[in-house]
Amino acid sequence: MNMPATPSDLQATIEELWVYPVKSCAGVRLPEAELTDTGLLYDRAWMVVDAQGHFVSQRELPRMALIQPSFRMGQLVIKAPGMLALHLALDAAESPARVQVWDDVIDACDMGDVAAQWFTDFLSPGAPADLQKLRLARFDPQVMRRCDPAWTGDQEAYTQFADGFGLLVAGRASLDDLNQRLQAAGRAAVDMRRFRPNIVLGGLAAYDEDRSGPMTITTADGEAVIAPVKPCARCPIPDIDPDTAERGYRVSDTLQTYRQDPRVGGAVTFGMNAIVTTGDGMVLREGQPVRADLRFD
């Protein structure tokens, strides 16, 4: 006798898809994006580095928030206020480089002097002395940068220049809850760009993504599966206005009152880092259904 399928605990929909081609610069919202083993195609595929090859971010250079990438006719087009657009072929790379992202020192590709001068010209005014000379690196697809097995367990997972994991998932209701708290304290609401997710889900209760098991996404190519593995501990970047690059403290101060997570040593969290377990080459689209079961561990 066939038993009826047990419905999943969570039923959601992809509301937004985002990629961040240049680490710590503005994101690009896409109606669809190809899923790869390391996350969404072209996500954090490029990275700004200092003269020693160490990555830089909005933590040190808030003006990075004003750098807006886009895709056009096989090119990555990068714009910023007062600058001519920088055009880079999506498959371009000029010379070998050695770069560092957090504790990982890896082989990469330097994008050449024109790109280096563009980022230096825009970001160096007012920057510390050690950030007066910048370069742009491209992730080498031959490199395997493994995600932390302490969080991925038996599942081997890889990422490019993201902080640690291939995807970041956040629920719309979680942002709504934060904004209610901000407004109750007399502070202005914020939008999801502050948290830099790849996948924004609608239809969840606030913070249900925190306790979600593997998420199955129904695509035209089959079922893709992504697994939330680690709460995303937040740095000061959510306090940087994505439109002005001005730094404040209202987001962090508010999260501090209710979002300390013992799973990451009491750090303030928002969103879940996730890895790809099934679906390399499948295309995610806004509006696709997502289902998952809750975890109670």
Residue 295 confidence (pLDDT)? 84
CA 140 to chain centre: 19
Res 82 pLDDT > 60: yes
32-81: pLDDT as tens digits:
999 999 999 999 999 999 999 999 999 999 999 999 999 999 999 999 99
Per-residue pLDDT band at 6 (split at 50, 70, 90): low
Query: What average pLDDT does range 160-177 have in this prediction?
Result: 98
The topology (CATH level 3) of 10-292 is: M1 Pyruvate Kinase; Domain 3 (2.40.33)
Res 175 pLDDT > 80: yes
Q: Is the pTM of this model over 0.75?
A: yes
The DSSP element (H or E) to which 70 belongs, if any, is strand 68-72
Q: What is the DSSP secondary-structure string of 182-249?
A: HHHTT-----GGGG--SEEEESPPTTGGGGB-PEEEEETTEEEEEEEEEEEE--SGGGB-TTT--B-S
Query: What average pLDDT does range 263-272 have in this prediction?
Result: 96
Query: What average pLDDT does range 11-15 have in this prediction?
Result: 97
Cβ contact 3:288 at 8 Å: no
Mean pLDDT of the chain: 95
Query: What average pLDDT does range 147-176 have in this prediction?
Result: 97
Cβ contact 207:269 at 8 Å: no
- Please tell me the distance from the alpha carbon of residue 50 to that of residue 126, in angstroms, as a whole number: 15
94-107: pLDDT as tens digits:
999 999 999 999 99
Res 297 pLDDT > 70: no
Per-residue pLDDT band at 91 (split at 50, 70, 90): very high
- Please tell me the distance from the alpha carbon of residue 58 to that of residue 273, in angstroms, as a whole number: 19
The DSSP element (H or E) to which 100 belongs, if any, is strand 95-101
User: What are the residue boundaries of the structural domains of the chain, listed by start?
Assistant: 10-292
180-230: pLDDT as tens digits:
999 999 999 999 999 999 999 999 999 999 999 999 999 999 999 999 999
Residues linked to residue 87 through DSSP beta bridges, in sequence order? 77
